[in-house]
């Protein structure tokens, strides 16, 4: 997927990192860029075009993100991208685009996405509160479950069908958080 981000500040940099991590081919258009973007360019993770926005710069992109510090420029990007039939996220006024980005929390194989109806600051606060609860303890629990499930499948053992509902019952989160989940898993090995 080809993504173009207009804006090289902190928000544009954060959006670029997320897209790079997702495997997108990322171009950032901005006269000035953050040190993080300079590093990403040096590592050939992103293409930087050091100039102001021009509508030709978004042609051919699947995804466009407007992250400049200019309301007028972001509004023009929304108009141009939508006229091209492109997905566009407007960071300072999300309702002007045709999709909203979610605030993500990742911990190992756990990914939790929060959308707050176009109020990114609220989504970030909610995400941070969730991240405090769903931490590395859940990573370890999922690793144990994955191992148990994989062994059951490999051995053509139907125990997983009986075990899963018991391990993933209404006490799952409590047992992960109070440290008793590992004991529950061991009792089924």
| pTM (two decimals) | 0.72
Whether 161 has a pLDDT exceeding 90, the answer reads: no
The pLDDT value recorded for residue 56 is: 96
**More confident call, 124 vs 70:** 70
The pLDDT value recorded for residue 189 is: 67
Contact present, 32 and 7 (Cβ < 8 Å): no
Please report, rounded to a whole number, the percentage of residues in the chain having pLDDT higher than 70: 99
The pLDDT value recorded for residue 104 is: 86
Phi-psi region of 156 (alpha: psi -120 to 50; beta: other; left: phi over 0): left
Assign domain 2-101 to its CATH architecture: 3-Layer(aba) Sandwich (3.40)
The pLDDT value recorded for residue 156 is: 79
Whether 135 has a pLDDT exceeding 80, the answer reads: yes
The pLDDT value recorded for residue 121 is: 83
Provide the pLDDT confidence category of residue 11 given band limits of 50, 70 and 90: very high
d(CA 75, CA 169): 48
The pLDDT value recorded for residue 6 is: 98
Whether 32 has a pLDDT exceeding 80, the answer reads: yes
Angle between helices 159-167 and 136-154 (to 10 degrees): 160
Per-domain residue ranges of the chain: 2-101, 102-134, 136-186
Question: What is the token pair recorded at 167?
Answer: 């391990």
Whether 138 has a pLDDT exceeding 80, the answer reads: yes
Per-residue pLDDT of 64-92, as tens digits, reads 999 999 999 999 999 999 999 999 999 99
Question: What is the token pair recorded at 1?
Answer: 């997927």
């Amino acid at each position: 997927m080809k993504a173009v981000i207009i804006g090289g500040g902190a928000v544009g940099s954060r959006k670029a990192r997320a897209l790079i991590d997702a495997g997108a081919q990322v171009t950032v258009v901005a006269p000035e860029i953050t040190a993080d973007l300079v590093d990403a360019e040096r590592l050939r993770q992103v293409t930087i075009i050091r100039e102001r926005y021009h509508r030709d710069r978004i042609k051919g992109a699947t995804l466009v993100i407007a992250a400049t510090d200019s309301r007028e420029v972001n509004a023009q990007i929304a108009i141009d991208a939508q006229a091209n039939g492109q997905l566009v996220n407007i960071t300072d006024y999300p309702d002007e685009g045709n999709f909203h980005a979610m605030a993500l929390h990742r911990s190992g194989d756990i990914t939790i996405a929060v959308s707050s109806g176009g109020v990114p600051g609220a989504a970030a606060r909610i995400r941070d509160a969730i991240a405090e609860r769903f931490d590395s303890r859940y990573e370890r629990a999922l690793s144990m479950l994955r191992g148990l499930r994989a062994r059951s499948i490999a051995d053509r053992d139907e125990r997983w069908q009986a075990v899963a509902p018991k391990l993933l019952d209404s006490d799952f989160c409590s047992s992960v958080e109070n440290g008793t989940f590992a004991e529950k898993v061991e009792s089924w090995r």
